Amino acid sequence: MTSSKKGPAEWTDMRDVASVVLKPGVTGDEVKDLYNQWAKNGYDEHLQDRSLYGALQVLKNTVKDLIPGNKDGMEVLDVGAGTGISGQFMKDIGFKVVDGLDPAEAMLKVADEKRIYRNYHCVFLTDQPLDIPAGTYDLITLCGVMGHGCIPCESFLEMTRLVKPGGYIVNCCRAAQPGRT
């Protein structure tokens, strides 16, 4: 059963998350607060069941296909980094330098305890320029982050500023079909 009345500790299905995070009119601060609560209430444990979140595997396979071979010297920005699960997937396939960007400080704190990221940018990505130089990254990843309550489509313009010429932006979201995660 999905219900927006359930708190993060009771969430068992990505539809529970969507019922809150994708709710019409939700604000960025409400989404940030929810993820801060979820970080302290089992986010990593809930995500252990990868069937809850097939986008992570899609992200990994897509990046492997786009950037095969040696990844030494490449720099990655994981947008909506959360607790670092998506960043760890990038390290697993050979990236050594991965930065994380997320407004939810409790999520980033968990990532920091696991030593996933080099730099931690605790900010919202919006359509406005960030305090990061143009052309910094070879790859920008987003996993389960795009949506009207989280990152606006206009933010792709800022991501194209941050990525190097010829670099990649890889965005993986949950499927929209009922019953799919």
Ligand X SMILES: C[S@@+](CC[C@H](N)C(=O)[O-])C[C@H]1O[C@@H](n2cnc3c(N)ncnc32)[C@H](O)[C@@H]1O
Q: Residue 5's CB: how many other CB atoms inside 10 A?
A: 7
Q: Residue 171 Cβ, how far from ligand X at the closest point, in Å? A: 11
**Residue number with CB closer to ligand X (58 or 164):** 58
Q: Residue 143 Cβ, how far from ligand X at the closest point, in Å? A: 4
> Which SS3 state, helix, strand or coil, does residue 83 take?
coil
Q: Residue 35's CB: how many other CB atoms inside 10 A?
A: 24
Contact (Cβ atoms closer than 8 angstroms) between residue 162 and residue 77: yes
Contact (Cβ atoms closer than 8 angstroms) between residue 69 and residue 138: no
How many Å apart are CA 163 and CA 125, to the nearest integer?
Answer: 14
Q: Residue 142 Cβ, how far from ligand X at the closest point, in Å? A: 7
Q: Residue 41 Cβ, how far from ligand X at the closest point, in Å? A: 13
**Residue number with CB closer to ligand X (44 or 166):** 44
Contact footprint for ligand X (CB under 6 A):
28, 31-32, 35, 47, 56, 79-82, 85-86, 101-104, 107, 124-125, 143-145, 150-151
**Residue number with CB closer to ligand X (161 or 166):** 161
